[in-house]
Structure 1
Amino acid sequence: MAYTGDVRRGSAPATRTLDHLTVTKVSVGPTDNNAYLLRCGDDRVLIDAANDAPALLELIGEAGIRAVITTHRHYDHWQALAAVVEATGARSLAHAADAAEIPVVTDTLADGDKIPVGEGELEVIHLVGHTPGSIALLYRDPNGHAHLWTGDSLFPGGVGNTGQDAARFGSLIDDVEHKLFDRLPDDTWFYPGHGKDSTLGTERPHLAEWRERGW
């Protein structure tokens, strides 16, 4: 079955196989948070241990993981983090600006950092606004288009919630526009913290509309 990225709590995970990376997406918890297991060879990392530790540990399996990357500090994105880290011995990575409010962080991240995943790497992109330390993670497929995990900073239809704070919204829309849309091509596929995936090309025509409406 072709990968669509359409998963819901209780549904089977969806897996996408690239030439050098396998992406498995699962929805967990009462707010349908997305968690992503990335595999390259024997190296594996998890993005957002959001909820339902037993389900995530079943997904991870006996092979374990090397690291858990938390996209931002909101509680619905780390409810299973402590249990997953304890069970697997994985490192726990988050941006320094959010780390104090995440229960287990072993290493902090900054904009431009590279996180190895087997032969590839994820580039950390700091996007300020949803939280002070929100990040996106960029994988450049050597044989295809770019892939981007955006947490709650970018969704199909708009940027993440900024609490009706004009300064936070301005910061986030600026970062999303300049650090993502200005840098990356239309075929970049992005995977958000909740809901369905999209591409930058699908969303790009609406940037001015998002800025005008203020959310």
Structure 2
Amino acid sequence: MAARVDHLVTSGTFSLDGGTWDVDNNVWIVGDDTEAVVIDAAHDADAILAALGGRALRAVICTHAHDDHIDAAPALAAATGAPVLLHPDDLPLWKLTHPNRLPDGELADNAVFTVAGTSLTVLHTPGHAPGAVCLYAPGLATVFTGDTLFQGGPGATGRSFSHFPTIIDSIRDRLLGLPPETVVRTGHGDPTAIGAEAPHLEEWIQRGH
């Protein structure tokens, strides 16, 4: 059976630099009827478990370590035995939320994970966070961008651990060269496509200055 993408929206809060905001997060489940990976275990481990429906969870992959993307990761891992994977550059952010529980493994740039016959390639895309990654699934014509690229532009870079010129470099060098029909599945909000966002790079650069 071919892999598919299941989508779940969970709600909670995001806290950093002394502020807290209500947020809705996209949780992406990639797999078939027998196995899957979860991209960003946000807020509600029980809801994610229900969406998995008894499938074997191979990994909990974190696009970055802001608390709204990882707060349910340890509970989901404990319930399933799946490893939590994070790029090591985001360990300082991770420890703000989970000081007593480290991730189980590291995401390396260009590493490839295979689930249900579909490959997911790790693209290190710092800027929103130092260890931010995107996951490119060419067989599904999609890229999971976390908070690096949204419909309408880059992710936020106004808080600690973020840097606007770096996120622009990441998007230009790692994402905008993907096929234009590639669907962009984001950490929050609606999907978009590489071809819809690529023409606006110069506008984003000007907006950031």
Bin the TM-score by the shorter chain: 0.7 to 0.9
Q: Please say if residues 37 and 115 of structure 2, whose CA atoms lie closer than 8 Å, have aligned partners that are also in contact.
A: yes
Local SS of the residue matching 1:187: coil
Partner residue in 2 for 1:86: 78
2:186 to 182, 187, 192: 192
Partner residue in 2 for 1:25: 7
RMSD over aligned CA atoms reads: 1.8
2:166 to 171, 191, 194: 171
Map 1:116-155 onto structure 2 (within 5 A): 116-141=114-139, 146-155=141-150
Q: What letter corresponds to residue 36 of structure 1 in structure 2?
A: W
Local SS of the residue matching 2:163: helix
Q: What letter corresponds to residue 183 of structure 2 in structure 1?
A: W
Displacement of 1:119 in angstroms is: 1.6
- Unpaired stretches in structure 1, ≥5 consecutive residues: 1-18
Give the Cα–Cα distance (whole angstroms) in 2 for the partners of residues 178 and 133 of structure 1.
Answer: 16
Map 1:42-121 onto structure 2 (within 5 A): 42-102=34-94, 103=98, 104-121=102-119
2:176 to 174, 181, 188: 181
Task: State the aligned residue count.
Answer: 192
Partner residue in 2 for 1:160: 155
Displacement of 1:62 in angstroms is: 1.9
Local SS of the residue matching 1:111: coil
Runs of 4+ in 1 over 3 A off after TM superposition: none
Q: What letter corresponds to residue 108 of structure 1 in structure 2?
A: E
Displacement of 1:61 in angstroms is: 2.0
* TM-score, L = length of structure 2: 0.86
* TM-score, L = length of structure 1: 0.84
